[in-house]
Structure 1
Amino acid sequence: MPRRPRVLDLFCCSGGAGMGYHRAGFDVTGVDIRPRPRYPFRFIEGDALDAMREMCQDHDLVHASPPCQAHTALTKGTNAGRSYIDLIPQMRDLCRWYGVPWVMENVSGSTLRKDLTLCGEMFGLGVIRHRHFEIEWWGGEPVQIPHPKHRGPVRGWRHGVWREGPYIAAYGKGGGKGNVAEMQQAMDITWTDVHEELTEAIPPAYTEYIGREFLKDWGSAFRPGYVPEPMPVAA
């Protein structure tokens, strides 16, 4: 039997990205500097950059979600003046040095090259959560999904005005932001109920789409005739 493709999920947190790759057909190994007992796949506690050096060439794809705090709007506003590490340049250099196919994910405002932008509305989710992806693998990159018009605002208080909308704010607390149960439902993440892990997660739908796009090229290169089942995408 041909083996399943393997993905190394760096800075994995609770496994939002890892679950998407699993659903796309990958075997997943996650690495995080902190214990993540709810991570649903093989997990290694340790430094992601060290794991990259030691393990990346044993995997078919590397996914990295470096800390985003240096680039968020909150850091540039409410938390202005605080210092946060930016690991994107180091991660990019390592990926290119080792020559592995890779995907790197981060927030708007980051220094990523924006090869692909995904939004919860593209998948019919209850969050907007725009994320950008820098991607390098053979055969090109995922096709950009058209960005549908948002159906309304994010629910909650903003500038003293309450807005009712179809999306929840999956970050922070109070002010109408989503609670744990709402974040779980909105992002399709059921295996963790830790608030901090949910606020940092990306919906699995994002990486399921990316993973399926990767497997089209991986299959043509290593498994002739391999065609992954298509993933439903919201109109």
Structure 2
Amino acid sequence: MSRPKLLETHGCQGGAHAGYVNAGWDVTGVDIDKRHVRYYPGRLIIADAATYIREHGHEYDAIHTSPPCQWYTRGNAKGRAAGNSKWSRSIPPIREALESTGRPYVIENVADAAWDMRDPVALCGCMFGLSAIDTDGIRIHLKRERLFETNWHLRPPRACDHSGIEWWAGAYGGARRDKYEAKFVRKGGYVPPNKDVVKALLGVEHDMTWNGLFECLPPAYTNWIGRQLLAHVGERAA
């Protein structure tokens, strides 16, 4: 039997792709940056996301989008307040394009974008037991909260709980690479200095650049979402 078709816009280097594929979807990616073609582990169309959704979104059974998060992040707060940010508010125009298709959709973004999302569900590495052995032999656990808005009912695997874990790590630019300074001085913000460790922490198997990993959505998240979305699409068809 043929797999249902999922459109993934803002595909970047394909972190979300593997999770949806493993959940049972036939995934087509869209991204504006042709440099990502080299790393994306499937078909990647170079196009503007909102335009492609409006013109072709109805050809797919469901759509996942990850609009740029930079406008929403705390690091952009000054530029946003001054009205001179090089980034723009990305979620509303993407939502408008998604709603024009009538298809089930997922909008993913960072925690700082919660105010611009409709009843988002949070997923974090702690919910999936994502961890890796660091270069010093210490096991580190992924702390990476992301929000998901859907026009169907999405449930998390459990509540976010970071208690009982000694060492947490993430994957984002601008963080310190010293584990002890991050924990005891900065109280967070550690990113392993070894790319293979970061890939293992995120659960990524294919090659990516550092920037690709920093923007990566762990496949475990989209596998969880993809299985529920598959059931939802099946119920609609029935």
TM-score by length of structure 1 reads 0.81
Q: Could you tell me how far apart the structure 2 residues matched to 1:114 and 1:68 are?
A: 17
1:46-61 aligned within 5 A: 46-61=47-62
CA contact (8 A) 1:33 1:47 kept: yes
Deviation at 1:166, TM superposition (A): 2.5
8 Å Cα contact 2:124-2:146 kept in structure 1? yes
Which 5+ residue runs of structure 2 have no aligned equivalent?
131-140, 178-190
1:209 deviates by 0.6
Distance 1:107 1:187 in 2: 16
- Preserved contact between residue 60 and residue 100 of structure 1 (Cα < 8 Å): yes
Question: Does structure 1 residue 118 correspond to structure 2 residue 123?
Answer: yes
Following the alignment from structure 1 to structure 2, what is the Cα–Cα distance between the partners of residues 41 and 152?
A: 38
Q: Greater share of helix residues, 1 or 2?
A: 2
2:16 match: 17
Counterparts of 1:18-97 in structure 2 under 5 Å?
Answer: 18-35=17-34, 36=36, 37-76=38-77, 83=85, 84-97=87-100
Secondary structure of 2:55's match? helix
Q: Which letter maps to 1:12?
A: G
**For the structure 1 residues 192 and 80, does the alpha-carbon distance in structure 2 shift closer, same or farther, using more than 3 Å as the test?**
farther
Trace 1:1-235 onto structure 2 (pairs within 5 A): 1=1, 3-35=2-34, 36=36, 37-76=38-77, 83=85, 84-110=87-113, 111-125=116-130, 126-137=141-152, 141-151=153-163, 165-173=166-174, 175-176=176-177, 177-179=191-193, 180-222=195-237
Q: In 2, Cα distance between the equivalents of 1:221 and 1:92?
A: 21
Deviations 1:142-165 (A, max 9, x none): 223322421467xxxxxxxxxxx4
8 A contact 1:151–1:166 mirrored in 2? no
**1:26 and 1:90, CA in 2 relative to 1: closer, same or farther beyond 3 A?**
same
Q: Percent identity?
A: 37
- Runs of at least 4 residues of structure 1 off by over 3 A? 77-82
TM-score (norm 2): 0.81
Structure 1 alignment gaps of length 5 or more = 154-164, 225-235
Give distance in 2, aligned partners of 1:152 and 1:134: 29
The one-letter amino acid paired with 1:199 is: F
